[in-house]
Amino acid sequence: MINNTLYDLAIIGAGPAGMSAAICASEHGLKVALLDEQANFGGQIYKKLYQPSLKDESILGPDYYQGRVLIHQVQKSKIDCFFEASVWQVTYPEKSDSTLEINLSIKQQGQQLKARKLLIAAGAQERPTPFPGWTLPGVMTCGAAQILLKTSAMTPASPLVIAGSGPLLLLIAAQLHRAGVNISGLLDTRPKGRYVEALPHLAAALNNLPLLAKGLALMAEIKKANIPIYKNVTELTALANPSEHLEQVSFKTGNQHQEITCRTLLTHQGVVPNVQLTRALKLDHVWHQNQTCWHPVKDEWGQSSHPDIYIAGDASGITGAKGAAHTGRIAALKITQSLAKISSYQLAKLAQVPTKKLAKETCIRPFLDKLYYPAQTFLTPEDDTLVCRCEEVSAKDIRHMVKQGCTGPNQTKAFSRVGMGPCQGRLCGLTVSNIIAEESRLTPDEVGYYQIRNPIKPVNLSELIDLAK
Amino acid sequence: MPNALPFNRLETNSDTWVTLYIEDQAIQVPAGDTVAAAILSAGLLPSRTTSISSSQRAPYCLMGVCFECLVTIDGKENSQACMTQVQDGMRVSKQIQSPDLNAADTREAKHDK
């Protein structure tokens, strides 16, 4: 066992939300445990920032290095940090106000940690983007390429093509260009009309001018870089050479068929909350139409449908790194008040600043959500596209199961093992729910999501045995 | 020999490099790398084949979500290469189809002592 400490607060995820919450709670006298499955602080956004790999800081840009402030603060505070700590189950007793038990593996040793309150700051993942050929070696996500830049100062093999939609796609294109990578094509997969659809939300977005200006600067930088840009791309397909490695990307612009030879294809269609733990805990979730994904239900303090469990950062809905830090602080303040360390009056007063700052970060989201809304083919792909990478189940298979009478994702599991491979539905859950909804003319909320089972990460028997010692 | 074009390494701040063995081939990488980054820097793809159709796969998301980078690390099968930090002398092998359930697990043997 780690120790017999009963923590006031355990935080899962040491990204901007988790770090901010930990600093704030610890400042108010709470005994805090901060857990992350990575080797150190930062989450995905500030990954490896504690010891940056890239010599040239202009490649990733100042937004990345700004995270240093938060990392220095958290390093100085009195928080028990556990890294390479993979949480695979959280249990809670029937009645509230008793101890939560967190089962995890730290450096491959089974451990248990007890806490009075839990904050889930597990971040986001990239939206699954199924299209023909997306499983080929050589095809990766834009997020993956950015992670490799941050952790290892590595750039993908060229010729390189980037395809999809979203702010991260533009950012990685600019970052790779700064790193000297030749980009053979930037394929914008959005259909015509996204600007018109986003327009009604522009007025609200204007409340965050600095972020809008940053976006425009990024687009100008890409334009100046002379990267060939293809708009309204359809029928994106990755094609392989005889040794099953990516060799070519084919697509259509209008009626014109196009091909680009490449060794790496990076794709992206936005990010969605990582709901694996909130689902396994059977917390309530609600479908968010603009972000086309589920959010865990939470109140303005981040309190979930369980009174002792809070959610902050992108795990509770996409607000970006800055917004995540504010939600972390707000949740930490409420938790501090619920443990009677501050009064309700103090809570209201202390929460004013982060709440105001959060509003500035969230006001731009509806605009961005509409502007980069994925093309329908990435939500409900064509029949031949593989949906479940692990168990190799196609969109056609899912549609066939619906015709046979499957009413929800859990039934399709029983028929085909879809979602039952090692990723436990992380890369097919949204697609399967979307396809079933479309085929049965229901909403995704009516169709529902996979029942996520514990353990949410693979565990060795020896790690279970460790718990009994 | 690499069977895919390797990723390029830019100038790094890392001054400590370690050697690990991927399919018995010695690879030098900075100490802070993950095993998945080491595999990509060496161009040793695919890193696994699936148990269903034997199709070829490689690290895909790099953040512990997709489980495409499953390999055998120091005898432990089904290890996520992107979530494992490299260690000097580490031995990594590709995961071809399903792991062999009869293969000896060195970690279990260590526990029995």
Same domain? For A302 and A325 the reply is: yes
CATH number of the domain that A243 lies in? Answer: 3.50.50.60
pLDDT at B113: 34
Assess whether pLDDT exceeds 90 at residue A166: yes
pLDDT at A9: 98
Using the 3D structure, point to which of A318, A342, A366 is the last residue of a domain.
Answer: A342
- Whether residue A98 lies inside any domain: the answer is yes
pLDDT at B102: 64
Distances A186 to A120, A172, A180 between C-alpha atoms, Å:
35, 11, 16
pLDDT at B3: 77
Rg (CA), chain A: 22
- Whether residue A167 lies inside any domain: the answer is yes
Q: Quick check: A154 and B67 CB within 8 A?
A: no
- Whether residue A375 lies inside any domain: the answer is no
Same domain? For A276 and A329 the reply is: yes
Beta bridge pairs of residue A251: A258
pLDDT at A228: 97
> What letter would DSSP give residue A96?
S
**Assembly ipTM:** 0.95
Burial of A462 (0-12, 13-18, 19+ CB in 10 A): middle
- Whether residue A327 lies inside any domain: the answer is yes
Same domain? For A162 and A231 the reply is: yes
**Which of B8, B12, B60 is facing A141, going by the closest CB pair?**
B60
Tokens linked to A132: 């023909």
> What would the pLDDT profile of A264-299 be if each residue is shown by its tens digit?
999 999 999 999 999 999 999 999 999 999 999 999
pLDDT at A107: 87
Tokens linked to A375: 């093309």
Same domain? For A253 and A302 the reply is: no
Q: DSSP characters for A356-380?
A: HHHHHHHTTHHHHHHHTPPPHHHHS
Average pLDDT, chain A: 96
Same domain? For A188 and A231 the reply is: yes
Determine the distance in angstroms separating the CA of A394 from the nearest CA of chain B, rounded to an integer.
13
Tell me the one-letter amino acid at A201. H
Average pLDDT (A378-406) is 97
Assess whether pLDDT exceeds 60 at residue A394: yes
- Whether residue A460 lies inside any domain: the answer is no
Tokens linked to A437: 């909804």
Assess whether pLDDT exceeds 80 at residue A1: no
Average pLDDT (A196-223) is 96
Q: Which of B8, B35, B86 to mutate to test the interface with A (most CBs of A within 10 A)?
A: B8
Average pLDDT (A298-326) is 97
* Helix segments in A28-124, DSSP class H: 62-65, 68-76
Assess whether pLDDT exceeds 50 at residue A124: yes
CATH number of the domain that A401 lies in? Answer: 1.10.10.1100
Same domain? For A132 and A224 the reply is: yes
Determine the distance in angstroms separating the CA of A466 from the nearest CA of chain B, rounded to an integer.
10
pLDDT at B5: 85
Give pTM, 2 decimals.
0.96
pLDDT at A95: 73
Minimum mean pLDDT range among A201-205, A288-292, A396-400, B104-108: B104-108
pLDDT at A59: 98
Same domain? For A116 and A132 the reply is: no
Residue A411 neighbours by CB distance under 10 Å = 15
Q: Quick check: A152 and B11 CB within 8 A?
A: no
Determine the distance in angstroms separating the CA of B39 from the nearest CA of chain A, rounded to an integer.
12
- Whether residue A364 lies inside any domain: the answer is no
Chain A residues touching residue B6 (CB < 8 angstroms): 157
Burial of B42 (0-12, 13-18, 19+ CB in 10 A): buried
> What letter would DSSP give residue A207?
G
- Whether residue A459 lies inside any domain: the answer is no
Host domain of residue A402: 380-447
Q: Which of A35, A53, A60, A263 to mutate to test the interface with B (most CBs of B within 10 A)?
A: A53
Same domain? For A121 and A132 the reply is: no
pLDDT at B112: 40
Same domain? For A238 and A172 the reply is: yes
Number of compact structural domains in chain A: 3
Same domain? For A142 and A226 the reply is: yes
User: What CA–CA distance (Å, rounded) separates A447 from A460?
Assistant: 33
> Chain A to chain B, count of Cβ pairs less than 8 Å apart?
156
Q: Quick check: B62 and A421 CB within 8 A?
A: no
Domains plus CATH for chain B? 17-98 (3.10.20.440)
Using the 3D structure, point to which of A252, A269, A286 is the last residue of a domain.
Answer: A269
Distances A286 to A31, A153, A308, A317 between C-alpha atoms, Å:
32, 39, 19, 11
Same domain? For A168 and A108 the reply is: no
Same domain? For A144 and A113 the reply is: no
Determine the distance in angstroms separating the CA of A155 from the nearest CA of chain B, rounded to an integer.
5
Where chain B has pLDDT below 50, the residues are 106-113
- Whether residue A357 lies inside any domain: the answer is no
> What would the pLDDT profile of A89-104 be if each residue is shown by its tens digit?
999 987 766 799 999 9
